[in-house]
Amino acid sequence: MTVRERLRQNISAAFYRHGLLCASYPVPIILFTSASILTCCYPLLKLPLPGTGPVEFTTGVRDYSTPSHESQGDLSERPDWYRGPPVAYIQQVLVKAAVSPWDNSLVPVDVFRSPLGRVFSVLEEIRNHVYTDRSLEALCLQVTDLLPGLRRMQAVLPEHGCLLVSPGNYWQNRRDLFDADPDLLKTVHQHEPKGLHTSATLKDLLFGVPGKQTGVNLYSKKRVVTYTITIALSSYDARFVASLRARLKQLHPSANCTLREDHMVHVHFKEEIGIAELIPLVTTYIILFAYIYFSTRKIDMVKSKWGLALAAVVTVLSSLLMSVGLCTLFGLTPTLNGGEIFPYLVVVIGLENVLVLTKSVVSTPVDLEVKLRIAQGLSNESWSIMKNMATELCIILIGYFTFVPAIQEFCLFAVVGLVSDFFLQMFFFTTVLSIDIRRMELADLNRRLPAEAGMPPPKPGPLRPRETPPPPRPSPHTITLQAPAFRNLRLPKRLRVVYFLARTRLAQRIIMVGTVIWIGILVYTDPAGLRTFLAAQVSEQSPLGEAGLPPHLGVAPVFPGGDPTSTLSGLPAPEPTPLPENQSQGHRAAHPEVAPVSSPQITWGPEDEELWRRLSFRHWPSLFSYYNITLAKRYISILPVIPVTLHLSPQEAIDTRHPQDTHHAPPPIPIPGGGWTGISRETCFAGAHARMVAALGLFAGVVLVLLLFCLYRVLCPRNYGQNGVPHGRRRRGDLPCDEYGYSPPISEISPLLLRGHSMDIECLASDGMLLASCCLVGHIRVWDAQTGDCLTVIPNNGGCWEHRDGWDHISACEAESLLGADFREPGGGAVGGQDVDIFPIRRRTTPARPALFGDQPDLTPLIDTNFGLSPPSQALSSSGFDFGGLVEKAYQEHEPSPTLAFPPSPPASQQRRRSLGDQPVLPPELPPQNNGDWDSSVWAMELRGNLIATGRSSGKLELWDAVEGSLRCSNEDGVSGITALAFLNNRIVAARLNGSLDFFTVEITKPLGLLQYRGRGSLPPSPCYSSEDVISCQLTRSVQCAHQKPITVLKAAAGRVVTGSQDHTVRVYRLEDSCCLFTLQGHSGGITAIYIDQTMVLASGGQDGTICVWDVLTGSRVSHVYGHRGDVTSLVCTTSCIISSGLDDLICIWDRSTGIKLYSIQQEVGCGASLGVISESLLVTGGQGCVSFWDLNYGDLLQTVYLGQSSEGQSVRQLLVLDNAAIVCDFGSELSLVYVPSVLEKLD
């Protein structure tokens, strides 16, 4: 345990230092982090882009042999998929056919009718080719059935036998059908899909060349028809292929063809992601985004919520990238499908730490410096972060030992990802957070500066005077409440959603994101198509003046036999290089007018070598998929094409004409200067393409700019705040340090300790101005709640009063004559027995301070001595006496007299307000001598006006004068110990141990009715009991069996007395007539806490942990909640919520109207259960040697005030909130007075 504690402390300290470091040097740390991210991601460049594009590998034809299944370690350049035989060998016969010479008698259909017709003879040749004993039938890939869904293609694609496709398939490979076909173009195009298509179409499949190059249209200017006959071979026989090649070349020689024939290309296809497979993937991604959304939504109270959310996401993403990069660096190539495992990785790594960090930092006291806040927040969460991380690592390690390769790999990635995520959190995110919080503070400061110009700065500059010795009295200090923008009330949820939508323009963003995703999907699913498209654009558009020229027109002689650049390169470039074409175009530019109406020439260029590259990369997979053969994760080998050149004579073309062909409109006569229509079409197309490319580029640019802007906003605050002042950690000062070695700043609220009691304080009572405390021995001390001075001490062992002033006892008749003296000395010291009818008024002989009241106005004439005229007490009970007006007048007349001579000793006691309903006019009684019950201990105490009511264990009720310390009256009617007291108006209610409830009436008789006001000049007059008053306390009613069991709680407010007992019930009595109004049943345990206030809200908490809210008017239960495990120890209400604390060290905050738990605060074990509400939003709780201030709206800890240095063992058990926003709490044998001045300002 000790090791654990020490470890914990060390971790906290390390985190603290780290937080300081991060917050002090944000820029270098962010730069460092970015550099390390980039470094770690560098190996990723070597990885192929994630996608489904095929990869290639080229081998020579001559020494080709089918690769074995076993990996041979010798060839390092051989990819690991290149194992075993391919799915098929693809042999393409590239046919270029033209009618030449062209003469004007020919119709456009002639361009392709007769060339296409020749395909049947070539096919025949291929089918019948036999080398030694092998025929094509034996070698080719036999296919059986088309997929059932492809009925419409049945007529076109071969259904059994060899997989051999050619344009002849359109006519079932039958010449007669071809000849009978009136409209070839219609036949070709009837299978084309409508609309946008990106993958291979049937025309592509059958022609084997990109649709634009076939030349099968009416407006072709080249008049060369290109198509391929594609043969899929299941096994490779070099000699057969060579003989076929030789045969075809011999039959149809290509004049200037120097296509290379020595390389075969193996194309490996990645796993295809079908739509069916996409659905689970999309689902996981949706869940991932929901997770990220719900997580980042919790980031609150920061300057830029979106910025921090972005930073959080960036942290997670870059940690993943780093993990992949690092794994690659150490030779671990990822074999898993990255897209699939990515969401799970994110979920495993999680955003939790980041959020916890943010929350912890945000909830540190706002008045601290940013660095300290960061450091403190970090160290607060250090232990949990480390614990979580250790747990996760353990789980992942367990996963690693499953020895399933896929899981092992996942675990490896996750481990590296976790570690790098931790690194990034610590460096990147913390720093971003510090920058953000600094920005918020600056904004805050700017906003509040004009309003609080006259006040001490809530956030002093870097050189704040913290090192100065603490002021003797708590300096005016503010608990810095957050700026109004952050504190504003919670709107209803729906409204907030609407605001959120409006504020963030979510709809637009979603549309934008959707567009981006759509484009991304387009690029992903068909990268090759786009690539070929772009490449074609580049190659066609590059020379600007070329648009007017028909391409490939009469350039044959200019072409060199073989382009040196491409023949020299060992491996063909993956993309058709535009370079040779540029050259040729350059040549062409040199001969601009080469026979505009010339015969079509068949040319062979290097671009024909691998014409299949221009096809969609889906070409082969889709071809094979029609036969239910998947190419996913397999490869095909593409053999070098066999070139076939066909020259047809015009006569032949005319012979093969279909009768309807001539019905077609003749083509626009190519006049010298160019066929305008065709050219305009082409330029129009080119323009459209160019526009598309430009739009894409523009879009990409905009996205990039937006991204950079966001990054800038996040990373680059307007002001980096103070720098240059090195802030070391504060030396441990007088104030206690918390466990992280962090000393609270001196500007914190410092408590005022009231010492004097020798034992632990048992009871505490206050009426706002005075404070009475009673310790275990029975000493009662009265303090000034403002200054903390001890006014009176009432010792237990009688005899030796510790009076400030001496008093003597005078008889009642003497008292009548003592009119002009200091009758209005505050605090009547009447000690009343109940049935004594003489006036034992102890008159104050003032030897110590003769000048004490000399400066007071003479109020004698104001005093009405005619007692016969004084109204009966009952009539006045509602309003009480108010001598204020009377005294005020007299006082104003007396104004000029100096008040300086007023002694400071009991400075505030005179200003006390007279509590309403204190009845000074009652039949006088004779108090006995100081015969208080010294043997019994004080169990309950109440203070009202300047009367202290104490209930003793012997059942005696005593009334003491708070200022003079004299016993004014006592009542011994009951014998059972008084467990609780309530003092309201002129009534005292005492609850006794035996469950009975006694109502007493305090009657105060003004013996002479004289008044004298003494007070400090500016304060309003506040009359109070006079020491001359005779106070009696009469038992008016005793409810014998109020409860079956001892009464535990007694509260009185708003004319009601509420008692709670161990018999599980709460009873409500009316104070005036002590009549029991309701018995409230609802708890299943003894009542432990009750709250009632002036608004008649009654809440009760019981030993069963439930909290009930009652309507006092009707006695009905408003709500009933299970709050705690164990007793509810304390209950407080504000206008909107109920705060409860329980034995489970939890403080719960409930919504008062709905009874829903808003949140709860887990306190340390053994914390006191005392609660107090200072204002609507400020809660104070007592803890282990400290009191903590909480923001009720958010449940954030605002500040913790340590009461003393040796605070370990003592916990605050009682806590009182005074009217002036001071807090009094007991603290062992001491009392602690804590001022919260800023709240005072808030209150008024």
Task: Pick one of 66, 172, 335, 402: the residue that binds other proteins (CB under 8 A).
Answer: 402
Alpha-carbon gap, residue 424 to 42, rounded angstroms: 17
Q: Is 1193 in the site for other proteins (CB under 8 A)?
A: yes
Percentages helix, strand, coil for the chain, rounded to the nearest 5?
35, 20, 45
Which listed range, 59-67, 337-345, 915-923, 1019-1027, lies at the site for other proteins (CB under 8 A)? 337-345
| Residues 794 and 777 sit within 8 Å (Cβ to Cβ) | no
950 vs 1163, beta carbon nearer other proteins: 1163
Q: Is 1151 in the site for other proteins (CB under 8 A)?
A: yes
Q: Is 1195 in the site for other proteins (CB under 8 A)?
A: yes
Of 951, 1023, 943, residue with least CA distance to 983: 943
Q: Is 708 in the site for other proteins (CB under 8 A)?
A: no
Q: Is 398 in the site for other proteins (CB under 8 A)?
A: yes
Among positions 1109-1138, residues that touch other proteins (CB under 8 A) are: 1118-1122, 1136-1137
Residues 92-131, mask of contacts with other proteins (x by CB under 8 A): ----------------------------------------
Which listed range, 306-314, 432-440, 508-516, 1154-1162, lies at the site for other proteins (CB under 8 A)? 1154-1162
Task: Pick one of 64, 344, 486, 720: the residue that binds other proteins (CB under 8 A).
Answer: 344
List alpha helices for 626-675, DSSP H: 650-655
Which listed range, 35-43, 220-228, 974-982, 1148-1156, lies at the site for other proteins (CB under 8 A)? 1148-1156
# of chain residues touching other proteins (CB under 8 A): 73
Residue 786 corresponds to which tokens in the numbers above? 């403002």
Dihedral sign, Cα of residue 123, residue 124, residue 129, residue 134: positive
Task: Pick one of 19, 167, 343, 840: the residue that binds other proteins (CB under 8 A).
Answer: 343
HEC string of 145-183 equals CCCHHHHHHCCCCCCCEECEECHHHHHCCCHHHHHHCCC
Among positions 1159-1178, residues that touch other proteins (CB under 8 A) are: 1159-1161
Instruction: Tell me the one-letter amino acid at 814.
Output: E
Which listed range, 395-403, 1004-1012, 1092-1100, 1215-1223, lies at the site for other proteins (CB under 8 A)? 395-403
Q: Dihedral (C-alpha) 679, 682, 687, 689: value to the nearest 10 degrees? A: -170
Kindly provide the residue ranges of all beta strands, DSSP E only, lying in 1103-1227, ordered along the sequence: 1106-1111, 1116-1122, 1128-1133, 1137-1142, 1146-1151, 1157-1162, 1171-1175, 1178-1182, 1186-1191, 1196-1202, 1215-1217, 1222-1227
Which listed range, 342-350, 537-545, 672-680, 953-961, lies at the site for other proteins (CB under 8 A)? 342-350
Q: Residue 345 CB, nearest distance to other proteins (Å)?
A: 10
Among positions 38-97, residues that touch other proteins (CB under 8 A) are: none
Alpha-carbon gap, residue 457 to 480, rounded angstroms: 10
1149 vs 1231, beta carbon nearer other proteins: 1149
Instruction: Tell me the one-letter amino acid at 259.
Output: L
Task: Pick one of 180, 242, 251, 290: the residue that binds other proteins (CB under 8 A).
Answer: 290
Spell out a b/e string for 996-1032, using b for 16 or more CB atoms within 10 Å of the CB, else e. Answer: bbbbbbbbbbbbbbbbbbbbeeeeebbbbbbbbbbbb
Alpha-carbon gap, residue 1108 to 71, rounded angstroms: 76
Q: Is 330 in the site for other proteins (CB under 8 A)?
A: no
What values do phi and psi take at 660, rounded to 5?
-80, -15
Q: Is 1153 in the site for other proteins (CB under 8 A)?
A: yes
301 vs 1047, beta carbon nearer other proteins: 301
Q: Residue 376 CB, nearest distance to other proteins (Å)?
A: 19
Q: Is 864 in the site for other proteins (CB under 8 A)?
A: no
356 vs 644, beta carbon nearer other proteins: 356
Kindly provide the residue ranges of all beta strands, DSSP E only, lying in 540-699, ordered along the sequence: 635-638, 642-648
Alpha-carbon gap, residue 1150 to 1139, rounded angstroms: 6
Q: Is 1154 in the site for other proteins (CB under 8 A)?
A: yes
636 vs 1215, beta carbon nearer other proteins: 636
Of 271, 411, 418, 216, residue with least CA distance to 332: 411
Q: Is 155 in the site for other proteins (CB under 8 A)?
A: no
Q: Is 152 in the site for other proteins (CB under 8 A)?
A: no
528 vs 772, beta carbon nearer other proteins: 528
- For Cα atoms 141, 144, 148, give the angle at the middle one, nearest 5 degrees: 135
Q: Residue 1158 CB, nearest distance to other proteins (Å)?
A: 5
Q: Is the peptide bond before 101 cis (omega within 30 degrees of 0)?
A: yes
Among positions 479-498, residues that touch other proteins (CB under 8 A) are: 489-494, 496
158 vs 343, beta carbon nearer other proteins: 343
Q: Is 275 in the site for other proteins (CB under 8 A)?
A: yes
Q: Residue 279 CB, nearest distance to other proteins (Å)?
A: 6
680 vs 1095, beta carbon nearer other proteins: 1095
Q: Is 786 in the site for other proteins (CB under 8 A)?
A: no
Task: Pick one of 359, 464, 804, 894: the residue that binds other proteins (CB under 8 A).
Answer: 359
Which listed range, 554-562, 757-765, 834-842, 1193-1201, lies at the site for other proteins (CB under 8 A)? 1193-1201
Among positions 809-848, residues that touch other proteins (CB under 8 A) are: none
Residue 587 corresponds to which tokens in the numbers above? 């040549």
DSSP 420: H
| 701, containing H or E segment | helix 676-715
Scan for tokens 């709050």, then name that residue: 1123
Among positions 232-251, residues that touch other proteins (CB under 8 A) are: none
Q: Is 724 in the site for other proteins (CB under 8 A)?
A: no
745 vs 1155, beta carbon nearer other proteins: 1155
Alpha-carbon gap, residue 828 to 959, rounded angstroms: 10
Q: Is 144 in the site for other proteins (CB under 8 A)?
A: no
Alpha-carbon gap, residue 1073 to 1052, rounded angstroms: 14
Among positions 608-637, residues that touch other proteins (CB under 8 A) are: 621-622, 625, 628, 630-632
Of 1135, 1138, 1094, residue with least CA distance to 1119: 1138
Q: Is 280 in the site for other proteins (CB under 8 A)?
A: yes
Q: Residue 280 CB, nearest distance to other proteins (Å)?
A: 5
Calculate Rg over the CA atoms of the chain. Answer: 49
280 vs 701, beta carbon nearer other proteins: 280
418 by DSSP, 3-state: which? helix
632 vs 753, beta carbon nearer other proteins: 632
522 vs 632, beta carbon nearer other proteins: 632
CA contacts within 13 A on the Cβ side of 379:
26
DSSP 1211: B
181 vs 1144, beta carbon nearer other proteins: 1144
CA distances from 459 to 440, 744, 1192 (A): 12, 15, 22
- Please name the residues in contact with 876: beta carbons below 8 A apart, sequence gap of 6 or more: 919, 921
Alpha-carbon gap, residue 1001 to 996, rounded angstroms: 17
954 vs 1136, beta carbon nearer other proteins: 1136
Which listed range, 135-143, 346-354, 675-683, 770-778, lies at the site for other proteins (CB under 8 A)? 346-354
Q: Is 754 in the site for other proteins (CB under 8 A)?
A: no
Q: Is 380 in the site for other proteins (CB under 8 A)?
A: no
Task: Pick one of 35, 75, 242, 406: the residue that binds other proteins (CB under 8 A).
Answer: 406
Q: Is 395 in the site for other proteins (CB under 8 A)?
A: yes
Kindly provide the residue ranges of all beta strands, DSSP E only, lying in 922-1046, ordered along the sequence: 938-944, 947-952, 957-961, 967-971, 978-984, 987-992, 997-1005, 1030-1039
Which residues is 632 bridged to in the sheet? 269
Which listed range, 143-151, 472-480, 1052-1060, 1075-1083, lies at the site for other proteins (CB under 8 A)? 143-151
